[in-house]
Structure formats: structure tokens, C-alpha cells
């Protein structure tokens, strides 16, 4: 009886144990099933892609960047092949160990490797990180020798950027750099590897959409440690298109050589088309430094240079034009009939206005002068008197009609508009009334008047063209393929309503500036052609306390066109703190004009075929209303002194 009761009790305990065990088994199998379902259904695509990447990977291939040529087919920016050292982070188990090994084998500091890895967080999965660029052959050999000891290591062949002429035309060409974090947000760069070089300034930036091309892809098979075994499929990248600029490398070199180590700017234009022949801003920089990234000490030396080598003085810096502006005042006087060409004014060396005496640059005075002699000898007193009678609003009207005080719309970023002041401007910006004494300073290009060298070159082209304005341009054509070009014809910005007789009188006087006795620019004469021009010496507003030195000298200007009877080139030269325009700037303009008229020493085959040349007959001019000065220009302007 007791035995039966024991068996029944033991049987009940065993049954319960089996039930509990069955429940545990069910729960375990349930968890396992749910886990398998999560892996296969929820995370299936992710793990399938990860598994596939352990065998097959799709690698982006950077496109070759388009070449930039000058107008005669000389490369200004070209392609260059080099070797790079890369790491694929997903194939590395211990990044710190790999960084230490690279320091031991390749002499690459571990901190540098880890920094490059940390900076690559925005890259796509399995996208290689570039650790070192432009490897030497010795470095390539060392990397190949240790490739199988270092996880994720590879040596890649890159097609990068090269600027064969160094700092020549650096502000015009600009430079390239890796895609920035802000650019990565732009969907235009979605398909590009994060270390792709794209245009960051100048022509490289303006034409980047065309120059950078379209990336390709390579489908490769890799082994378990990520080493490439073979290529399965390739979609070739689409190279960027080539660009032909209007720049004449021969004229550019002559201009840069003539300016030398002085800070300043030179702009030369084709008077009939507005094509930029030379675009100089000194000091410059070597854009090759940006291709592989420059050392910190080099960057610090350039960025802290007091002469600001990254500043584009040709189109992004504005200066008082000095006596070059007297051309505007003379045109306004003739057009309004406020004065006739034969009317004379006596210059005793100063002009008394109210209680203030405005001095002429020639302290002994020019004696009795008419308009012709006033321009030839740059008599300040003549233009003080004329400006006072005209009033600032009239002077401003003609300055703007000739293109000053507004952007030229050249294909470059961040162009300054300069400033042509009037009564309304001063009341709006300065909250002050205009004083008539300020008109005297403005009439000789001082005071609040500001212009860029590019504007002055464009202005001189309009004077040469009887007031017809052509838009400055730097792009001559785009080479789509071996036989296809997009050619850009001249664009006209309308014509200033100025009588031909007025322009004839002005051109005659400007020729006298160079070729007549007493002219302020005799140093611009050349046996190759007649030259018409105007010197300017713009007073520098105090740059701080202390005495003397180059930085306290006046800016030197000279603006010209040649030949006088059939103008082909207009030039503006500005030498910062250069002193007098006649001695510092005029000889530079002569060198530029002679280089253009002589042409290149060796003629190369034209880049643009004859059948693609623009039509000889230009389109009819269209009116263009000058834009308002930017607030930055308006607020930076300040009163100046007399034209020395």
C-alpha cells in the first residue's frame, strides 16, 4: 500500500518535471525561432549585403577632371597620376595596431592615421580612406612589401590635379580640394567618393559641374581579409569636359613679370569681345599646394602673410581710382555742356573752397589749362572746379553709365561692385547730408569712390569703344568631345548715351597723356603702336599710427588702351603703395601691351577649330541697368584726401 502510494507520488513529480522541461524547450525553441526570424526577415537584407561585401564589393571610381587651357591651347590645369595609400576600415580588427604598424613600416605617424580615420565618418561603407597621397616609388614598394601584414591596406592609382605653371593666374584658376562636409549635403556629390577633388575657388569652382565629370564603378571580388582577387564588372567613369579660357598665357606671364614682387593687380581685356587676356593679383599662391593638402606651417605662413596672398585684388578688392576717374568728370562736363573743350581755368597750385584749400599735385600750379591739357597733365584744380559745378549726382550718373559702381558679371565668385556715391547713398547709408566739398574729392577719384581693377579695365574698353560696353568674360569655349565645342560669343551690356564727339575729344587727350610733352605717362610709350591712357595716384587713408614705409605710400594706377585708332586691348594696372602712376604703373602697362601686340614666340595649334569661331557680327547691344552698390562696399567706403 505504501509502495503504491510512493509510486503514484513519484509518477506525479516526474510528470510535472517533464511538463516543466517541455515548457522550457518550447520557450527556448520559440526564442530561437524569433531570433532566426529577426535575422532572416528583419535584418536579412543587411546581413546579406554584409556577407556579399565579404565576397563582392562595388567600388566608386573617380572621374578624370577636365583640362583647362589658355586661348592658344596651352594647359593651365591638367591631370596627373599618382599613388595613394588607403585603408578599408571594415577589414581592420584593430585600427590602432594598424596605425602603429604603418608608423613602423611607412614612417607615417600613428596620430596622422587615426586622425584620417576619425575624419572619414561620413564616408560610405567599405569606401577606402586615403591615408597618404602622392607616394614616392620607395613608399609604394614598402607598402606592397607589407601589404599582407597590414589589414585593409591598399595602394591605389589616382588621377589628380596639376598646375604646370605654379602660381601663374592662381586667383583666376582657383584651386581644388576634397569635398567639404557642407558640400556632402549637396545631392550633386552623392555618387562621388568623399575624398574626390572638386573646385573650391576661381574657374575650378565656377565650372566644377562640367570639369569634375561623373564617377564610375568597379565590382570586385575580395577574399576573407578584404584583398582584391579579381574584377567582375566595370562601368567606366565619364571624364570631365575640357575648358578653353580667354586668357593669353604669354600676356599673363609678361604682366606678372612686369609687376614683380609688388602687391597689386593687372587686368587686360580684348576691347571688342571683353575677353580677359591677363588677370593678375599679387602676391599669389601655388594651387598645387591644395591638391594633396598643405602642411600646417605652410598654411600658417600663407594665411598670416600681411600681403594677403589669397586675396583676389583684381575683382574682389576695391580702391579709390584717383585721377583715372577724371575721365568720367570730363565726359560729364562735355555731355552736360557745363564746359567746352576750349574753356580754360587757371591753376595756381590750389583751389580755395570755403575755408578749405584743396591742393593740386603740382604745388607750383599748371597755369592756364583747357580740358585737353588738364587731362594730359592731370590738373587737380581744373577738375575740382568742374566737379563742383556739375554736382555729385551728375558725376555719379555718368560713372554708372560707363559701368563703374556695379559688378561686371564676370564668371568669378564674390566680385565686388565698388562704390559710386551720391546724395541719396550718403543719406541712406551714413544718415548724413552730402557736403559740396566732398564732391571735389569725388571728382578726382578720391573720397568715397571705390573701383576694382577689373572695372577700370572694362571702363577703359568702353571709352575705346565710343561708350559701347562689353561684358568681361574668361570662358572662350567648352570642349564636349574631340569634335564638339560650345563657343561663347561676346556679350554686350548696352552703350552709354555719350556723343561720339565727346569720346573723340577724350581719346585725343588720353593719347596726349602718353605721347605729348608734359604728359604724365610718357613711360607707357611703345614703338609698336600708339597708346592712350590715364595715370592715377590714389591717396591711402591712414593705415594706423606710426610713420612712413611702403604701406603708407599712395596706390599707383594706370589705365590704357591701344592702338588708339583701332583699339584691340585695354589694360588697368594698380600697384598697391606704389607711389605715382606715371612711374610705377605706366611702364607695366607698356610691357603688357607689347606682349599682346607681339604675340606668342611659338604659335601653337588653335584649340578652337575655325568653323567653331564666333560670328564676326556681334549681336545687337542690350541695355543693362547697373546694380546698386553692396552694403559691404558702402560701409567700407571712407573719405579720402587729394590726388597726389
> Is the alpha carbon torsion for 73, 75, 78, 81 positive or negative?
positive
Residue that has been written with the C-alpha cell 588621377 in this structure: 159
Beta strands 68-69 and 555-562, pairing class: unpaired
Residue 146 to residues 104, 291, 553, Cα–Cα distance (Å): 11, 27, 61
E strands present in 482-522? 484-487, 492-495
Are 73 and 607 within 8 A, CB to CB?
Answer: yes
Provide the H-helix boundaries in 402-447. 423-429, 436-443
| Other CB atoms within 10 Å distance of the CB of residue 106 | 19
Beta strands 68-69 and 75-87, pairing class: antiparallel
Residue 623 to residues 71, 162, 495, Cα–Cα distance (Å): 29, 41, 7
Are 407 and 420 within 8 A, CB to CB?
Answer: no
441 catalytic residue (yes or no): no
Residues 320 and 408: their CA atoms lie apart, in Å, by: 17
Residues 468 and 337: their CA atoms lie apart, in Å, by: 21
* Catalytic entry in 170, 265, 323, 417: 323
Backbone angles phi and psi of 523, in degrees to 5: -70, -5
Residues 591 and 168: their CA atoms lie apart, in Å, by: 17
Q: What is the 3-state secondary structure (H, E, C) of 224-239?
A: CCCCEEEEEEEECCEC
Residue 259 has which C-alpha cell?
A: 609687376
Q: How many residues does the chain have?
A: 644
Closest to 480 measured CA to CA, from 213, 139, 215? 213
Closest to 470 measured CA to CA, from 277, 235, 197, 309? 277
Annotated catalytic residues are: 323
Amino acid at each position: 500500500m505504501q509502495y503504491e502510494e510512493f509510486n503514484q507520488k513519484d509518477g506525479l513529480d516526474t510528470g510535472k518535471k517533464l511538463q516543466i522541461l517541455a515548457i522550457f524547450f518550447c520557450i527556448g525553441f520559440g526564442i530561437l525561432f524569433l531570433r532566426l526570424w529577426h535575422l532572416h526577415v528583419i535584418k536579412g537584407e543587411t546581413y546579406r549585403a554584409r556577407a556579399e561585401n565579404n565576397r563582392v564589393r562595388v567600388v566608386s571610381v573617380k572621374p578624370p577632371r577636365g583640362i583647362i587651357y589658355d586661348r592658344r591651347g596651352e594647359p593651365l590645369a591638367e591631370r596627373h597620376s599618382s599613388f595613394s595609400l588607403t585603408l578599408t576600415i571594415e577589414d581592420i580588427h584593430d585600427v590602432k595596431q594598424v596605425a602603429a604598424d604603418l608608423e613602423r613600416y611607412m614612417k607615417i605617424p600613428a596620430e596622422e592615421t587615426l586622425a584620417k580615420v576619425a575624419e572619414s565618418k561620413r564616408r560610405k561603407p567599405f569606401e577606402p580612406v586615403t591615408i597618404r597621397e602622392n607616394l614616392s616609388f620607395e613608399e609604394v614598394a614598402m607598402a606592397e612589401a607589407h601589404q599582407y601584414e597590414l589589414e585593409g591596406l591598399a595602394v591605389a592609382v589616382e588621377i589628380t590635379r596639376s598646375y604646370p605653371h605654379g602660381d601663374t593666374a592662381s586667383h583666376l584658376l582657383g584651386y581644388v580640394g576634397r569635398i567639404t562636409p557642407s558640400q556632402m549635403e549637396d545631392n550633386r556629390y552623392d555618387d562621388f567618393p568623399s575624398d574626390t577633388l572638386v573646385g573650391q575657388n576661381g574657374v575650378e569652382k565656377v565650372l566644377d559641374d562640367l570639369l569634375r565629370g561623373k564617377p564610375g564603378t568597379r565590382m570586385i571580388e575580395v577574399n576573407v581579409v578584404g584583398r582584391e582577387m579579381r574584377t567582375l564588372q566595370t562601368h567606366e567613369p565619364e571624364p570631365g569636359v575640357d575648358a578653353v579660357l580667354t586668357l593669353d598665357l604669354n600676356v599673363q606671364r609678361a604682366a606678372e613679370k612686369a609687376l614683380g614682387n609688388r602687391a597689386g593687380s593687372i587686368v587686360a581685356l580684348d576691347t571688342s569681345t571683353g575677353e580677359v587676356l591677363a588677370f593678375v593679383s599679387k602676391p599669389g599662391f601655388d594651387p598645387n599646394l591644395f591638391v594633396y593638402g598643405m602642411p600646417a606651417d605652410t598654411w600658417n605662413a600663407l594665411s598670416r602673410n600681411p600681403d594677403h596672398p589669397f586675396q583676389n585684388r583684381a575683382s574682389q578688392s576695391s580702391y579709390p581710382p584717383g585721377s583715372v576717374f577724371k575721365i568720367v568728370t570730363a565726359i560729364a562736363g562735355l555731355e552736360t555742356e557745363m564746359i567746352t573743350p576750349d574753356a580754360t581755368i587757371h591753376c595756381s597750385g590750389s583751389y580755395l573752397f570755403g575755408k578749405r584749400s584743396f591742393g593740386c599735385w603740382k604745388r607750383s600750379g599748371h597755369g592756364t589749362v583747357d580740358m585737353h591739357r588738364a587731362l594730359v597733365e592731370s590738373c587737380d584744380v581744373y577738375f575740382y572746379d568742374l566737379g563742383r559745378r556739375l554736382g555729385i549726382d551728375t558725376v555719379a550718373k555718368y560713372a554708372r553709365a560707363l559701368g563703374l559702381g556695379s559688378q561686371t558679371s564676370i564668371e568669378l565668385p564674390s566680385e565686388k561692385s565698388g562704390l559710386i556715391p551720391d546724395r541719396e547713398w550718403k543719406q541712406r547709408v551714413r544718415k548724413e547730408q552730402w557736403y559740396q566739398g566732398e564732391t571735389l574729392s569725388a571728382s578726382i577719384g578720391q573720397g568715397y569712390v571705390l573701383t576694382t581693377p577689373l572695372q577700370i579695365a572694362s571702363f577703359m574698353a568702353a571709352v575705346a569703344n565710343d561708350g559701347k560696353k562689353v561684358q568681361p568674360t574668361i570662358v572662350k569655349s567648352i570642349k564636349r568631345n574631340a569634335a564638339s565645342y560650345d563657343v561663347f560669343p561676346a556679350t554686350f551690356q548696352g552703350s552709354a548715351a555719350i556723343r561720339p564727339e565727346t569720346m573723340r575729344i577724350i581719346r585725343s587727350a588720353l593719347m596726349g597723356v602718353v605721347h605729348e610733352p608734359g604728359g604724365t605717362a610718357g613711360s607707357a610709350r611703345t614703338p609698336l603702336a600708339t597708346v592712350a591712357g590715364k595715370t592715377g595716384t590714389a591717396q591711402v587713408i591712414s593705415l594706423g599710427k606710426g610713420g612712413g614705409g611702403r604701406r603708407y605710400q599712395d596706390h599707383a594706377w594706370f589705365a590704357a588702351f591701344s592702338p588708339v585708332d583701332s583699339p584691340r586691348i585695354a589694360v588697368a594696372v594698380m600697384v598697391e603703395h606704389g607711389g605715382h602712376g606715371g612711374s610705377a604703373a605706366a611702364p607695366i602697362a607698356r610691357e603688357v601691351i607689347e606682349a599682346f601686340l607681339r604675340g606668342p614666340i611659338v604659335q601653337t595649334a588653335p584649340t578652337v577649330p575655325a568653323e567653331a569661331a564666333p560670328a564676326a557680327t556681334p549681336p545687337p547691344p542690350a541695355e543693362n541697368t547697373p546694380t546698386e552698390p553692396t552694403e559691404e562696399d558702402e560701409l567700407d567706403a571712407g573719405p579720402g584726401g587729394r590726388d597726389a
